């Protein structure tokens, strides 16, 4: 077996790594015989020289196999095990609705999610705003909830893809996060370790996404779909717009409220609804629960209309330690900010541009996101009732409502929000929320 430095040299010089070399390097990351400096050197070599499709697939497979791969066979589930991953955005609370929708349609969803990263919100942080909800339950409770309820949304355990945790930490401090092969391996190693029968991906493009244009997003989607399918998991993707928040809300408890209102049928914003339904449809097809798009959409519409998806959400919350009556008594459980006031437009016109990244950073600055990994979150803060692109607005009408801990923080956030939303005299061209779908690269 080649020495670690020789494996790095091959990739540094633009060569292709064979399976034995990739396996040895990932094993070294896992058992810590490969040093941080060697991980950094390999990450930079991959960032600069890329990887072939075969190398990317092998890297993903060995990262997946660096820890446990969940086995659902002993539970004798009567439906496919499915999940979803989003590449991250602002106002993206789709997971909160999608997991229960898929479960209500006959799938099983062991959704292992993450915390906020940069300007993007994290699904786990949203669930942490629910009193009592266990985002890190015992393995027994996790499996029982998936079996009994159909869905459990929790955090990553140390036993799933441990090589990714160490690899990612080094990439984060060496400016190599944006490497497509490394992104692919990082995303899929964790998701495929869940023991899935199908996976659907939401790859975002725009000013609030990590991929700022559709071409880059398309390349990522194709790579993810190819590798997922090569590794035996039917994988589908949609490419969606992130040039404005997906939901008209951003912030942890605020997004939980939005999700409950959506599942209750009280408020289903069009963009959010389109993406949620599209992902649900792709998941049902990937899992073989339906034969075509029409049948899938009918099934999804039905579990929303009848309240079955809402019921599943409530059962999941209670099974994982949250209140049994969260849906009926949101105000009693979800924290509210001290200051809740609108920001008013200072001129008439049309909403011509929304800097979604800036809105995400407003939530962070209010205390709803982290500047360091040790930061404590204020789950009550954020932004709600955000206007959509193209909206005609009069002077003095609200652009959004800011939820802040105090007046000074509200004022600071209001100034930022006025810079993040541009008003012009000409109505902009509408943005399609779903750019394309990818079933294979």
Active site residues: 83-86, 123, 171, 186, 190-191
Question: What DSSP assignment string belongs to 394-417?
Answer: -TTSEEEEEEESSHHHHHHHHHHH
Measured from the Cβ of residue 377, the count of other Cβ atoms closer than 10 Å reads 20
Would you say 174 and 46 are in contact if contact means Cβ atoms under 8 Å apart?
Answer: no
Any idea how long the chain is?
441
Nearest to 227 by CA among 69, 62, 362, 48: 62
**How many Cα atoms are found within 13 Å in the side-chain-facing hemisphere of 11?**
28
Q: What residues does 423 pair with on adjacent strands?
A: 351
The closest of 85, 137, 146, 427 to 283, measured between CA atoms, is: 85
SS3 letters for 92-114? CCHHHHHHHHHHHCCCEEEEEEC
What single string gives the DSSP state of each residue in 348-377? Answer: -EEEEEE-HHHHHHHHIIIIIS-SSTTPPP
Kindly report the number of other CB atoms within 10 A of residue 54's CB atom. Answer: 14
Q: How many CA atoms lie within 13 A of 230 on its CB side?
A: 20
Cβ partners under 8 Å of residue 278, min gap 6: 238, 434, 437
Residue 153's CB: how many other CB atoms inside 10 A? 26
């Amino acid at each position: 077996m080649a020495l670690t430095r020789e494996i790095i040299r091959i990739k540094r010089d633009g060569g292709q790594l064979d399976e034995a070399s990739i396996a040895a390097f990932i094993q070294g990351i896992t058992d810590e015989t490969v040093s941080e400096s060697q991980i950094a050197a390999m990450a930079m070599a991959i960032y600069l020289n890329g990887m072939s499709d075969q190398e990317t697939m092998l890297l993903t497979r060995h990262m997946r196999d660096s820890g446990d791969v969940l086995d659902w066979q002993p539970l004798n589930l009567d439906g496919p095990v499915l999940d979803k991953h989003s590449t991250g955005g602002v106002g993206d609370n789709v997971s909160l609705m999608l997991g229960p929708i898929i479960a209500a349609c006959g799938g099983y969803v062991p959704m292992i999610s993450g915390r906020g990263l940069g300007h993007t919100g994290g699904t786990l942080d949203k669930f942490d705003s629910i009193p009592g909800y266990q985002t890190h339950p015992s393995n027994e409770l996790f499996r029982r909830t998936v079996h009994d309820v159909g869905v459990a949304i929790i955090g990553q355990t140390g036993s799933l893809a441990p090589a990714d945790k160490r690899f990612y930490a080094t990439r984060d401090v060496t400016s190599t996060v944006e490497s497509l092969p490394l992104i692919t391996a990082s995303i899929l190693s964790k998701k495929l370790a869940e023991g899935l029968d199908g996976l659907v991906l939401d790859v975002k493009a725009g000013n609030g996404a990590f991929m700022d244009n559709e071409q880059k997003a398309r390349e990522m989607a194709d790579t993810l779909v190819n590798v997922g399918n090569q590794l035996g998991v039917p994988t589908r993707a949609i490419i969606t717009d992130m040039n404005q928040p997906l939901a008209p809300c951003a912030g942890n408890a605020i997004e939980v409220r939005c999700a409950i209102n959506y599942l209750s049928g009280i408020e289903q914003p069009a963009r959010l609804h389109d993406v949620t339904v599209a992902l649900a449809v792709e998941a049902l097809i990937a899992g073989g629960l339906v034969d075509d798009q029409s049948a899938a959409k009918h099934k999804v519409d039905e579990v929303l209309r009848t309240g079955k998806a809402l019921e599943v959400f409530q059962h999941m919350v209670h099974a994982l330690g949250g209140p049994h009556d969260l849906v009926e008594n949101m105000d009693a459980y979800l924290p509210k900010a001290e200051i809740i006031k609108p920001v008013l437009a200072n001129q008439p016109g049309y909403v011509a541009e929304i800097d979604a990244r800036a809105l995400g950073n407003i939530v962070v600055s209010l205390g709803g996101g982290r500047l360091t990994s040790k930061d404590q979150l204020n789950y009550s803060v954020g932004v709600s009732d955000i206007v959509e692109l193209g909206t005609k607005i009069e002077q003095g009408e609200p652009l959004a409502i800011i939820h802040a801990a105090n007046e000074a923080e509200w004022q600071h956030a209001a100034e930022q929000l006025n810079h993040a939303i541009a008003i012009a005299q000409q109505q902009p061209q509408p943005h399609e929320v779903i750019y394309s779908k990818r079933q294979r690269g």
